[in-house]
Amino acid sequence: MSKAIVIGSGIAGLASALRLRSKGYEVKVFEANAYTGGKIHAFSNKGYRFDFGPSLFTMPHLVDELFELFDKDPKKHFKYIRKDIICNYFWEDGHTFTAPSDKKQFIEQAAKSFWVEERTLENYLNRNKEKYDLTAGLFLEKSLHKLYTYLSPDTLKSLLRIGKLHLNNTLNGVNQSYFNDSKLVQLFNRYATYNGSSPYRTPGIMSLIPHLEMHYGTYFPTKGMHDISQSLYRLAEQVGIEFYLEEPVMSITTQKHEVTGVKTKRDTYEADVAISNMDVFSTYQTLLPDSRQPKRILKQERSSSAVIFYWGINRQFGELDLHNIFFSNNYWQEFEHIFNKRDLYRDPTVYINITSKDKPDDAPPGCENWFVMINAPGNVGQNWDEIVDEARRNIILKLNRVLKTRIEDLIVTEDVVDPRTIESKTRSHQGSLYGTSSNSKFAAFLRHPNFSSQYKNLYFCGGSVHPGGGIPLCLLSAKIVSDQIPAND
């Protein structure tokens, strides 16, 4: 039986390991941490449970199909509910909007809330669907670095209609061409943050993301986001995948431009195939220091990072749901600070995720667990202690103004994560959440390939390579890798 090694047990690493196991490989997974899941991790503090990382779950069928590879019923191993509400939005002038997940309801309610014609909203969302239909089979499900990808009828169809993709306009430009209401533009601009980019620089094709939320829906795992990774970890152990926790890989071993295995801090392991789920920048710098470095890719601008406060709140807020956003009064300035000044704007957009809304035992009775996040620049040596202290003050002031309360009096537990923490815990260069940013059409689609052109049988998966960051794209990266590796008969 051929041997495969996966470096890192993030969601893409787990999915890659499972896909190769289903193809007949003997699979070993090496993880530097004492736990699996990468950013999809969890912890507790005085009766409050928090998900460490990603808080949005879409396209759950990509998780389900990993169980189906082994003829297992996903519903018996991983359960989730569909949310009726996408997000609650708040502005400081008192305007609020609760976005339903149903497309028809969204159009009806948004038209009334933002004084826009239903037909305009419908045209916008239908155009987003068209963008997705034209590009999903090419950009999301296949390698962009293989010639055969461009010879398919679907690819030719997409290329012939490339003008409809708004590649030469920004997301903000597209949204402003449809809507006059600045709040509605801001609502749709926020989708740039799904891949750690600026709406004023990322290409207009990113307007397809709202379609994904409404078409596929948004979900919540009944045991918390952590169960996404842990259900796959349990499945992996059941099907015979071996895990080596707290055993970081020190180097990828090669001979005559072919991968031979890996060297860890404990031993050397042979393999016929190696897949790195580690940030591609760190993979080259740390595991392949003597290789030819892909300088253009490694110099690409990194995506945004985050400052996150995990607050145990000793009160419940009926106006809040699972996902809540409190918008900045000057969105452009916020992204100018993040990507150009490498600092935080004094009036940041605040995202609050409260899993106790759907999983009450995540907080004591009458309380809520708040995951409070603002977008931040990557770690390039800033004084994060000062930045985080100021951010905390600004966040509290903003929430107090909008919610008419004193949040500081309600916080009974607190943990904090900043770009330094994210970088050290996940080996993500500069603490970026999504690898490279998508602040240009080239960066958005010409990410590092899922295979090495230098070493035979070396592959890459995860948010720092094609097709991008976020749980669905990471799972798709694992599928793209698997499709390039022959079955072990």
Pairwise CA distance, residues 135 & 140, whole Å: 7
Confidence band of 147 (pLDDT split at 50, 70, 90): very low
Residue 44 CB partners (closer than 8 Å, separation 6+): 50
Pairwise CA distance, residues 203 & 384, whole Å: 30
| pLDDT tens-digit readout, 200-236 | 999 998 888 888 888 889 999 999 999 999 999 999 9
pLDDT value of position 112:
97
Give the domain ranges of the chain: 3-40+58-69+222-300+439-484
The pair of structure tokens assigned to 304 is 């945004």
Pairwise CA distance, residues 426 & 431, whole Å: 8
| pLDDT tens-digit readout, 54-69 | 899 999 999 999 999 9
pLDDT value of position 444:
59
**Strand, helix or coil at 230?**
helix
pLDDT over threshold 70, residue 76: yes
| pLDDT tens-digit readout, 85-97 | 999 999 999 999 9
Q: To the nearest whole percent, how much of the chain has pLDDT over 70? A: 93
The pair of structure tokens assigned to 76 is 């018996």
Question: Which segments of 42-159 are extended strands (E)?
Answer: 42-45, 48-51, 57-58, 80-82, 85-90, 96-100
347-378: string of b/e by CB count within 10 Å (b at 16+)?
A: bbbbbbbbbbbbbeebbbeebbbbbbbbbbbb
| pLDDT tens-digit readout, 159-206 | 545 556 777 899 999 999 999 999 999 999 999 999 899 999 999 988
Give yes or no for a cis peptide into 419 (omega within 30° of 0).
no
pLDDT value of position 209:
87
In the chain, count H helices and then E strands. 16, 20
Q: To the nearest whole percent, how much of the chain has pLDDT over 90? A: 76
pLDDT over threshold 90, residue 143: no
- Label residue 304 left, alpha or beta by phi (over 0 means left) and psi (-120 to 50 means alpha): beta
pTM of the model: 0.93
Identify the H or E element spanning 323.
strand 323-326
Pairwise CA distance, residues 289 & 282, whole Å: 10
What is the domain class of 3-40+58-69+222-300+439-484 according to CATH? alpha beta
| pLDDT tens-digit readout, 302-318 | 899 999 999 999 999 99
Mean pLDDT within 437-466? 84
Q: Compute, in degrees rounded to 10, the torsion defined by CA atoms 20, 23, 28, 30.
A: 0
pLDDT value of position 154:
61
Q: Compute, in degrees rounded to 10, the torsion defined by CA atoms 479, 484, 485, 487.
A: 80
Average pLDDT value for the chain: 92
Confidence band of 427 (pLDDT split at 50, 70, 90): confident
